[in-house]
Amino acid sequence: MSDKIYNVLFLCTGNSARSILAEAILNKVGEGRFRAFSAGSHPAGQVNPLAIELLKRNHMPTEGLRSKSWDEFAGPDSPHLDFVFTVCDNAAGEVCPVWPGQPMTAHWGLEDPAAVEGSVEARQHAFSQALLILHRRISLFASLPIAKLDGMALKHELDEIGRGHRGES
């Protein structure tokens, strides 16, 4: 049994909603096996209040969550990253920094709840849907026997999770 703690970075453009939700979810469901971070290529500078409200309502950690640049994770003093997941289409197509340690990467894109316009209820529903999708994907990821899978098998599993082929409809 491995006692390794895996460092995971979730990326999005603004780092105000999806990547923030993913960071909080993995820090909760990862049960100490994972340390999650989030960042953006063009950070919004603040976390969307609907994201914080939803996380609190679902008893997820919100302490220390902030919108930040992915540059914070590309330097020599940055945490060694084991996995980097993009959760929005924009970040997946951008040129990413060179990550120290060559982490395994996958794209788990989903629609931006912060882009939804309309009533408060419609916006809250969009955030709830994003949380549900991310929770499913992250729970599947956290349940993988990472230490027992070879690199190709693990990469396949990560890609399948992002495509929604592992329990997501």
Q: What is the pLDDT of residues 38-62, one digit of tens each?
A: 999 889 999 999 999 999 999 998 9
CA distances from 81 to 10, 38, 48, 61, 100 (A): 11, 12, 25, 21, 7
- pLDDT in the model for residue 168: 47
CB atoms < 10 A from the CB of 29, how many?
17
- pLDDT in the model for residue 74: 84
Mean pLDDT, range 34-41, rounded to an integer: 94
CA distances from 138 to 33, 71, 83, 85, 143 (A): 13, 24, 12, 11, 9
- pLDDT in the model for residue 92: 54
Residues annotated as catalytic are 12, 88, 96
